[in-house]
Structure 1
Amino acid sequence: DYSSTIRGIEELCSKRDELNRQIKQEEEEKERLQHDIRVLSEKLSRVNESLTQRLAARATFDRTIAETEAAYTKILESSQSLLSVLKQEAGNLSKATEPRRTEH
């Protein structure tokens, strides 16, 4: 029958139109997602660069702190040695400068 054929064609056209609408929506979503991916990739790249620089700076701080602490420890050890030597020499000088007792 002619009218059922027309109805069938109209139904197919309607389904195709709905499918076209869905395709258009998905293509738009795809474009949005691709844009978001580009933006996020650029952000990730910037964060990676910054992170690399900060990690290098932290390593420099760590190295400087370790070297400074080691030098400070050596200074403390040297100070203790010097203090011991000074005390010993002061004791020797005191003995040397004490008046000698003469026994009668």
Structure 2
Amino acid sequence: MTQQGAALQTYNNELVKCIEELCSKREDLNRLIQQEEAEKARLQHDIRVLTEKLSRVNESLAHRLSARAEFDRTIAETEAAYMKILESSQTLLSVLKKEAGNLTKATEPRSSKDH
């Protein structure tokens, strides 16, 4: 019986040692889980912050794109009106030169041949 008792004691010691090792590994794993949960919480916070920033940038960008489109429209309209003014000025200058030439001819003294 002593031999059986010794074997039982050995098994008991090994069983306690295995249980302690398992508990130690569980504690290590629990620390890793807590670290990853903390990292997950930080990442989720960062995602919320970045999502809010992205939303603000998207709103600002949409506003600026709209303003740029308005600038483009105003510039195009102004350039078109300016081209019409240039064309009208050119036409006016042409008409004025023709009339000035006619007036010059009309006011020149007549030569003796004309009489």
Give the TM-score taking structure 2 as reference length. Answer: 0.88
User: What corresponds to 1:101 in structure 2?
Assistant: 111
Inter-partner Cα distance in structure 2 for 1:5 and 1:94: 128
* 1:80 and 2:90 aligned: yes
* 1:18 and 2:38 aligned: no
Per-residue deviation, residues 5-54 of structure 1 (Å, max 9, x unmatched): 00000000001001100100000000000000000000000000000000
User: What corresponds to 2:3 in structure 1?
Assistant: none
* 1:6 and 2:16 aligned: yes
User: What corresponds to 1:49 in structure 2?
Assistant: 59
How many residues align? The count is 104
Unaligned runs of at least 5 residues, structure 1: none
What percent identity do the matched residue pairs reach? 75
Q: Cα RMSD between the aligned structures?
A: 1.0
Inter-partner Cα distance in structure 2 for 1:72 and 1:7: 95
Cα shift at 1:63: 0.6
Which letter does structure 1 place at the counterpart of 2:70? T
The runs of at least 4 consecutive aligned structure 1 residues that moved more than 4 Å come to: none
Inter-partner Cα distance in structure 1 for 2:60 and 2:111: 79
* 1:31 and 2:12 aligned: no
User: What corresponds to 1:91 in structure 2?
Assistant: 101
Unaligned runs of at least 5 residues, structure 2: 1-10
Cα shift at 1:100: 1.3
Inter-partner Cα distance in structure 2 for 1:63 and 1:14: 72
Mark the structure with the bigger radius of gyration.
2
Inter-partner Cα distance in structure 2 for 1:34 and 1:47: 20
Inter-partner Cα distance in structure 2 for 1:27 and 1:81: 80
Give the TM-score taking structure 1 as reference length. Answer: 0.97
